[in-house]
């Protein structure tokens, strides 16, 4: 084992991946919740978050915790059509099941549909640019349960008022989901504009590098991290797709690039251990 391999092995101990896709799903996935949890536990990781575009994963996470020892599994809900869209009742149910993350619409977001040549979709703002009443109800629930608010696949025009209002309501855990993803397409200038809201940028290996529509070298993402600060960053795999490498292998590859690109072990630990742990706690 060379020096970098040894470093990566040590960095994975107590690591947390806040963005993993698993079975069961309507999209082909590499492994089920319990298998992924056991694989993560085998390399010493402390927690994973399972995500599904078509349903709530909080109850699934609770079941996985029974069968996977030495690791915590967390879940949440993505507010797509399958759960009724901007549905406060679904959000409350997920949170009561122990859900930790509320993702704004992803595949059914109007922004996602427009970028992928579809019509319709969910917008969180009205024609005047103000947040819809349901969003205020959802934000109040997130505040009450001290959960994570993640921006999903929204446009910048929706993200900014959402995060501003969330901060005004006292919500502490604000995550900008894979800003470099071609669907989100937030420039470095856009991200600098959001930084004063004390947000956390989630840098996802799949969304920033492996997605077939993008293929952006992760080295570029590292440069953005250096500009915006590792203090405001979490590293996630966003993997689990059947045709891709596993989430664990994705993290290893991501970390190898991060090290070669000049990030220190302490900086990586902050992004892979401390920051995600603070979001979950």
pLDDT tens track for 184-210: 999 999 999 999 999 999 999 998 777
Percent of the chain with pLDDT over 70: 98
**pLDDT the model gives residue 216:** 75
Q: Tell me, what's the pLDDT at 250? A: 96
List the domain boundaries for the chain.
3-280
Q: Which residue has the tokens 């004390």?
A: 198
pTM equals 0.96
CA distance 261 to 152: 27
CATH 3.20.20.140 fits 3-280, yes or no: yes
Respond yes or no on whether the N-terminal peptide bond of residue 126 is cis (omega within 30° of 0).
Answer: no
- pLDDT beneath 50: ranges in the chain: none
**Beta bridge partner(s), residue 175:** 150, 200
- pLDDT of 278: 98
Note the pLDDT tens digit of each residue in 20-54.
999 999 999 999 999 999 999 999 999 999 999 99
Phi, psi at 180, each rounded to 5°: -85, -5
């Amino acid at each position: 084992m060379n020096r970098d391999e040894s470093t990566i092995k040590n960095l994975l101990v107590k690591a947390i991946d806040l963005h993993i896709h698993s079975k069961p799903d309507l999209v082909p996935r590499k492994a089920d919740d319990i298998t992924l949890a056991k694989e993560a536990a085998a390399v010493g990781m402390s927690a994973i978050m399972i995500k599904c575009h078509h349903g709530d994963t909080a109850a699934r996470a609770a079941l996985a915790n029974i069968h996977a020892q030495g690791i915590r599994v967390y879940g949440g809900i993505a507010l797509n059509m399958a759960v009724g869209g901007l549905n406060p009742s679904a959000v409350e149910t997920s949170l009561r099941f122990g859900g930790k993350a509320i993702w704004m619409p992803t595949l059914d977001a109007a922004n996602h549909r427009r970028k992928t040549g579809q019509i319709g979709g969910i917008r969180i703002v009205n024609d005047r640019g103000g947040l819809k009443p349901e969003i205020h109800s959802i934000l109040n629930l997130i505040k009450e349960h001290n959960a994570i608010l993640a921006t999903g696949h929204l446009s910048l025009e929706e993200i900014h008022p959402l995060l501003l209002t969330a901060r005004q309501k006292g919500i502490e855990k604000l995550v900008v989901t894979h800003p470099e993803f071609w669907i989100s397409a937030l420039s470095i200038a856009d991200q600098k504009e959001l930084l004063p809201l004390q947000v956390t940028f989630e840098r996802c290996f799949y969304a920033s590098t492996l997605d077939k529509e993008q293929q952006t070298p992760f080295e570029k993402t590292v440069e953005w991290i250096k500009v915006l600060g590792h203090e405001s960053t979490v590293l996630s795999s966003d993997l689990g797709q059947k045709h891709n490498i596993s989430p664990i292998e994705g993290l290893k590859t991501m970390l190898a690039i991060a090290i070669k690109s000049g990030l220190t072990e302490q900086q990586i630990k902050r992004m892979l251990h401390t920051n995600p742990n603070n979001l979950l706690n």
